[in-house]
Structure 1
Amino acid sequence: MVDMSDLGVIGDTELVEELSMLTTQTARMRARMVDIMTELERRRRPARPGGPGGSAHGTCR
């Protein structure tokens, strides 16, 4: 990662590459956050007997 004090001395190409990398990381983090929130929501829903997630013991990973 580029230090803020270095931004004035590096070229446009490097700035664009850094921005691209950060944008990609942000998109991956947002997708992961959605996955985690979806899983938490799924775990909070009451289990239906005999249906998916209906085990009384839960799922261990």
Structure 2
Amino acid sequence: MTKAELGLIGDAELVEELSLLTTQTARMRARMADIMAELERRRCARPARPTRPTHPAQRR
């Protein structure tokens, strides 16, 4: 939406649009937090992989 288009819309409509966008933003943030928590849960649930030395002097 351009600034010119915003100038044609009434206050009530702008407030309603802002409210809708705020609600959508809150939902997206909550969803992002859920996804991040699930990824962290999965990462912690995996067995630790042993690290392998990469330098020949470290190998035994």
* Structure 1 length-normalised TM: 0.69
Which amino acid letter does the alignment assign opposite residue 32 of structure 1?
Answer: R
Q: Which runs of 5+ in 1 are unaligned?
A: 49-61
Q: Which residue of 2 aligns with 1:53?
A: none
2:21: which partner in 1? 22
Aligned to 1:31: 30
Normalised TM-score (structure 2)? 0.70
SS in 2 for 1:13: helix
Hey, which of these two has a bigger chunk of helix by percent? 2
RMSD: 1.4
Amino acid at match of 2:8: V
Q: Sequence identity, in percent? A: 72
Aligned to 1:44: 43
Name the structure 1 match of 2:53: none
User: Larger Cα Rg: Structure 1 or Structure 2?
Assistant: 2
Structure 1 SS opposite 2:39: helix
Which consecutive unaligned segments of at least 5 residues does structure 2 have?
48-60
Distance 2:45 2:28 in 1: 28
Aligned residues: 46
AA in 1 matched with 2:19: S
